[in-house]
Structure 1
Amino acid sequence: MPDTQTRPPTSSADGALKRNALGTGGIAFLVISAAAPLTVMAGVAPLAIGVGGVGAPAGYLFAGLVLTLFAVAFMAMTRHVKASGGFYTYISLAMGKTMGLASAILAIVSYNCLQIGIYGLFAVQTHDMFKVLFGLEVPWPAIALAAVAAVWFLGYRGIDVGAKVLGVLLVAETGILAIMGVGILSSGGADGIGLGSFSPDQMFSPGILAILGICFAAFMGFESTVLYRSEARNPDKSVPRATYIAVGFMSVFYAFIVWTVVQAHGEGRVVEAAGELAGGLFFQTINHYVGPWAEAVMYVLIVTSVYASQLAFHNAINRYVYMLARDGVLPAFLARTHPRFQSPHRAGQLQTILAALVISICALLNADPYQQLLIWVNTPGIFGIVGLQGLVSVAAFLYLRRNPDAVTSKLLVPISLVSAILLFGVVLLIGLNIELLTFADSLTNTILILVMPVVLLAGLLTARWVRRHRPGTFAQIGSFETHES
């Protein structure tokens, strides 16, 4: 059992993460924006339709169902773990400090893979926007590096500014997708409105198993509600509510939008259309059913949508690095906060440099921003986060078994076990079907699959080294507790 000693508040010299008394709505806005609905839909949903077929909407519902079970197990621990360390703290509490530190390292690498990879999508979509709307050809590396600088600036200024911006972008991008969906349904689609996407033969087709990685990736970031625990009003209530709101909304909304796009092109032709139009599928659809003005708006909003997800991931990464630095595992300077904005600006600077470095290397190697930077860099991150969710479910199972007083329902323990089994099963299915996600050769796919197991092993070895050579630091792992007053 890890040390749960409460540390004193930081001094004014060191600063502390800014607290903004975010309510349920504020946290939910932040978290839903982490997934950026327009990014998920216009950016990668065409690939889900092309591979998964007419039943693609069911993939998002399945992912939402599994992650709802995970959320139930996850939230069962939040009343007893008063910390902002996310997966790191929860796994440390139930599975020990060695696994806790390894999971923290795995989380940092996974979130970085997701955040940095998405710059490829940002570059592609922004390039297309400039070309379609203004007739300009802007090199993708310039766009990606400009986005890195923009994300750093807003993250540097602190969560208050980030929350406001993310909230505005969320409303706008959700609105344009909803307008498209309503336009499709009101016109009757291509062949009338049907429910073939939810028939058993479509929902359980082999293609659905192949797109699970895409569907689960659409929810990445919803678990970051706990990272803002210290900034929430009444976190014991607002954090669980925000988590359920986030996963519930995303599950239903994603499935609805993908289903309407299937109706727009017809169940017999939508797969062909997704293959031909690729990233242009949603833009062509909204142009046809709503009008050219809506296509122009969507182009602008997808750029801001990707930016929103980047900022949310950036903030989540910074908080993991901040917590490890506060626990003494990483250099102390990474735990310093800005004297004015109270943001973890040193951690943000490190993440920004890493993102710029990866993008620059891809540019020098003439890598494709969508295939190599987005898909290939994102894939290990998907493995890592879904695997971490499985570990958290195991942690919840162990914690609830050891602490019967924390069990508020007899269903909590079996739900946490079922959640772990399903999530590790998803990791296996993604690995077995990885070629349909990456379109890469077997060697590349093997490397992408092995990245996160190697990172986890390195984390375990690091934790053992810290335990042996720095016992004082090891005793602090996972022990930082926030002050809820």
Structure 2
Amino acid sequence: MSNAPAPARASHVATTLAQNRLGIPAVIFFVMAAAAPLTVAAGGVTAGYAITGQISMPVAYLAVATILMLFAVGYVTMSRHVINAGAFYTYITRGLGRPAGTGGAFVALLAYNAMQIGLYGGFGVVLKQFLQTHADINLHWLVCALIGWVAVAVLGVLRVDLNGKVLAVLLIGECVVALAFSAVMVGNPAEGQISVATLNPELLLSAGIGAALVTAVTGFVGIEATVVLSEETKDPKRTVARATYLAVGIIGVLYAGAAWAMSVATGPANIVERAGTDGPQLIFNLVNPYVGQTVITLGELLFVTSLFAALLAFHNTVARYAFALGRERVLPAAFGRTSPRTAAPVVGSTAQTLLALAVLIGYAVSGADPYVHLFFWITVTGGLGVLVLMVLTSAAVIAFFAKDSRGENNFRTFVAPALATFLLGLVLIITLKEFDTLLGVAPTSPLRWAFPAAYLAVLLLGACWAFWLKGMRPAVYAEIGRGANAGKRSTASPEVAQPGERVRS
């Protein structure tokens, strides 16, 4: 039976993303919006301090930023030779083979959906608090979450550059507030003395550091979106590299700076207790005596919009992963179609929207805590999945260039990726060992293994699906990892195998 589309439909079905719509600033806006600087400063940092009980959050952010800079070396080097919205999935496929790549794709879908849907819990709670405090409106958290859900559903099927403009406005505002609040806190230290105790590298050797590290990793999830958006960028070979390095550097300084500033304002000995008591309001409470109420209100509003910006950025990432898999028929072909009008991956976007709705309703019906059990638990679990993908991708970069260096130097193709693989693998092992601390559950709780086990299950499921395709649909199997060139035999594109690049099976 032929797999060719029916002639009557062929002219009306788009299977490519919009090209040449995003420059370096727009890509950075997408990446940093997913990273959500104010969300991390107000929510992630305080939750990290409170739940892990560690004062090491500032140095943990710096350590992760350093590791990710090493990771980025191989990642962006490979991006010059493989341009594909599938990002991690495609890279793992091209380096470690189709079964590993398909398994990685399933991990990516679970991880990014966890990040995106988990953020709705935080958005619902924070918007509820904002409306109750400033407008005397008392809504259920689910209603507040659904306000964001509707906006994301609409924007998700529109032009990607429109999404970028929305994110740019929100991001600039929250970065200014995060920097200003950090300056105020450092300028008003506890007991009149600035302490750098929380920046001590020796804290990286302390017990419980794994929980702090994976919390920090979660804050950086989204930097890989530079490659996810590569098909829609102007001059992707230069844009991806520059945007990635800039994003990691800026995010690392913002996060570490905010975490350190909080410890300065409370005193290192008090930061854990204050974080547990004040929660996401800590950063606002610390600056409240020194700035006007109008500034505090603006900061709280930008906290809400920061969560929304992250929701929109991760929604776009999930939709493009689904698109990449649908285009290659790993998922149903419908996911590989884009809107003829906006060139947005409308099927993947709609599917992610419906999945989010089902999970939100399930959480509301169960009565689970939306901030702890949805926002923190699920987003951190999403971060764990992305950490797994980064380890696999670093190893894949080494394997990819081992076949053909393509004129790249040894540092980019082996030294930096090898160091990144080792260090990210070490963080992963420590994280798994201390996952109970991260969740705040007893060491004997089955939850400490349930969340990580979900990734192992989908990784194996994806690999098994690839082997099934190899036996039952070999033509589809052969196209895995080829991106926009699936079904084409031209040798003009960087996606097509060149001499020495043979995709592993």
TM-score normalised by the chain length of structure 1: 0.94
Query: In structure 2, what is the Cα distance between the partners aligned to 1:100 and 1:406?
Result: 25
Secondary structure at the counterpart of residue 446 of structure 2? helix
2:33 corresponding residue in structure 1: 33
Query: 1:383/1:186 Cα in 2 relative to 1: closer, same or farther (>3 Å)?
Result: closer
**Per-residue deviation at 1:372?**
1.4
Query: 1:234/1:27 Cα in 2 relative to 1: closer, same or farther (>3 Å)?
Result: same
- Contact kept, 8 Å, 1:189 with 1:264, in 2: the verdict is yes
- Contact kept, 8 Å, 2:39 with 2:303, in 1: the verdict is yes
**Per-residue deviation at 1:188?**
4.5
Secondary structure at the counterpart of residue 440 of structure 1? coil
User: Is residue 2:476 matched to residue 1:477?
Assistant: no
1:199 corresponding residue in structure 2: 200
**Quick check: 272-281 or 286-295, which moved more?**
286-295
- Contact kept, 8 Å, 1:380 with 1:451, in 2: the verdict is no
Query: In structure 2, what is the Cα distance between the partners aligned to 1:195 and 1:54?
Result: 11
Query: In structure 2, what is the Cα distance between the partners aligned to 1:203 and 1:424?
Result: 15
Query: 1:200/1:66 Cα in 2 relative to 1: closer, same or farther (>3 Å)?
Result: closer
Query: What does the per-residue CA deviation read over 1:10-33, in whole Å, with 9 as the maximum and x for residues that have no partner?
Result: 965222322343221221111111
Query: In structure 1, what is the Cα distance between the partners aligned to 2:484 and 2:116?
Result: 27
Structure 1 letter corresponding to 2:13 = D
Query: In structure 2, what is the Cα distance between the partners aligned to 1:468 and 1:449?
Result: 30
Query: In structure 2, what is the Cα distance between the partners aligned to 1:160 and 1:154?
Result: 11
Structure 1 letter corresponding to 2:25 = G
Query: What does the per-residue CA deviation read over 1:404-456, in whole Å, with 9 as the maximum and x for residues that have no partner?
Result: 33432446412211211111221111111112221235112221121100110
- The residue correspondences of 1:339-418 to structure 2 (distance < 5 A) are 339-410=340-411, 412-418=413-419
Among 427, 447, 452, which residue is 1:449 paired with?
A: 452
Secondary structure at the counterpart of residue 233 of structure 1? coil
Query: 1:410/1:308 Cα in 2 relative to 1: closer, same or farther (>3 Å)?
Result: closer
Query: 1:427/1:222 Cα in 2 relative to 1: closer, same or farther (>3 Å)?
Result: same
Unaligned runs of 5+ in 1: 1-9
- Contact kept, 8 Å, 2:64 with 2:216, in 1: the verdict is yes
**Quick check: 143-152 or 44-53, which moved more?**
44-53
Query: What does the per-residue CA deviation read over 1:59-117, in whole Å, with 9 as the maximum and x for residues that have no partner?
Result: 10011111111111111211111322211111111111111111111111110011111
User: Is residue 2:460 matched to residue 1:461?
Assistant: no
Secondary structure at the counterpart of residue 54 of structure 2? helix
TM-score normalised by the chain length of structure 2: 0.90
Structure 2 letter corresponding to 1:415 = A
**Per-residue deviation at 1:141?**
1.1
1:440 corresponding residue in structure 2: 441
Query: 1:271/1:410 Cα in 2 relative to 1: closer, same or farther (>3 Å)?
Result: closer
Query: 1:346/1:261 Cα in 2 relative to 1: closer, same or farther (>3 Å)?
Result: same
Query: In structure 1, what is the Cα distance between the partners aligned to 2:429 and 2:293?
Result: 43
Query: In structure 1, what is the Cα distance between the partners aligned to 2:354 and 2:415?
Result: 43
**Per-residue deviation at 1:266?**
1.5
Query: 1:238/1:433 Cα in 2 relative to 1: closer, same or farther (>3 Å)?
Result: same
2:74 corresponding residue in structure 1: 73
Structure 1 letter corresponding to 2:18 = K
**Per-residue deviation at 1:185?**
2.8
2:170 corresponding residue in structure 1: 169
The number of aligned residues is: 475
User: Is residue 2:245 matched to residue 1:251?
Assistant: no
- The residue correspondences of 1:33-432 to structure 2 (distance < 5 A) are 33-50=33-50, 51-410=52-411, 412-432=413-433
Secondary structure at the counterpart of residue 288 of structure 2? helix
Query: In structure 1, what is the Cα distance between the partners aligned to 2:74 and 2:202?
Result: 31
**Per-residue deviation at 1:189?**
4.9
- Contact kept, 8 Å, 1:287 with 1:293, in 2: the verdict is no
**Per-residue deviation at 1:137?**
1.6
Query: 1:90/1:444 Cα in 2 relative to 1: closer, same or farther (>3 Å)?
Result: same
**Per-residue deviation at 1:316?**
0.6
**Per-residue deviation at 1:177?**
1.0
Secondary structure at the counterpart of residue 331 of structure 2? coil
- Contact kept, 8 Å, 2:170 with 2:305, in 1: the verdict is yes
1:6 corresponding residue in structure 2: none
Query: In structure 2, what is the Cα distance between the partners aligned to 1:116 and 1:312?
Result: 12
Structure 2 letter corresponding to 1:449 = P
Query: In structure 2, what is the Cα distance between the partners aligned to 1:112 and 1:12?
Result: 32
**Per-residue deviation at 1:291?**
2.9
- Contact kept, 8 Å, 1:180 with 1:289, in 2: the verdict is no
**Per-residue deviation at 1:380?**
3.0
Structure 1 letter corresponding to 2:187 = S
Query: In structure 2, what is the Cα distance between the partners aligned to 1:430 and 1:378?
Result: 15
Structure 2 letter corresponding to 1:14 = V
2:499 corresponding residue in structure 1: none
Query: In structure 2, what is the Cα distance between the partners aligned to 1:174 and 1:394?
Result: 34
Secondary structure at the counterpart of residue 289 of structure 1? coil
Secondary structure at the counterpart of residue 465 of structure 2? helix
Structure 1 letter corresponding to 2:464 = L
- Contact kept, 8 Å, 2:99 with 2:466, in 1: the verdict is yes
**Quick check: 475-484 or 256-265, which moved more?**
475-484
Query: In structure 1, what is the Cα distance between the partners aligned to 2:56 and 2:384?
Result: 23
Superposed CA RMSD: 1.8
1:13 corresponding residue in structure 2: 12
Structure 1 segments of 4+ aligned residues over 4 angstroms from their partners: none
**Per-residue deviation at 1:136?**
2.0
**Per-residue deviation at 1:52?**
5.0
Structure 2 letter corresponding to 1:13 = H
Structure 2 letter corresponding to 1:177 = A
**Per-residue deviation at 1:203?**
4.6
Query: What does the per-residue CA deviation read over 1:377-410, in whole Å, with 9 as the maximum and x for residues that have no partner?
Result: 2243222110000000000111122213343244
- Contact kept, 8 Å, 2:59 with 2:200, in 1: the verdict is no
- Contact kept, 8 Å, 2:74 with 2:412, in 1: the verdict is no
**Per-residue deviation at 1:170?**
0.8
- Contact kept, 8 Å, 2:20 with 2:235, in 1: the verdict is no
Secondary structure at the counterpart of residue 404 of structure 1? coil
Query: In structure 2, what is the Cα distance between the partners aligned to 1:459 and 1:23?
Result: 34
Query: What does the per-residue CA deviation read over 1:138-161, in whole Å, with 9 as the maximum and x for residues that have no partner?
Result: 101111122211111111112111
**Quick check: 20-29 or 390-399, which moved more?**
20-29
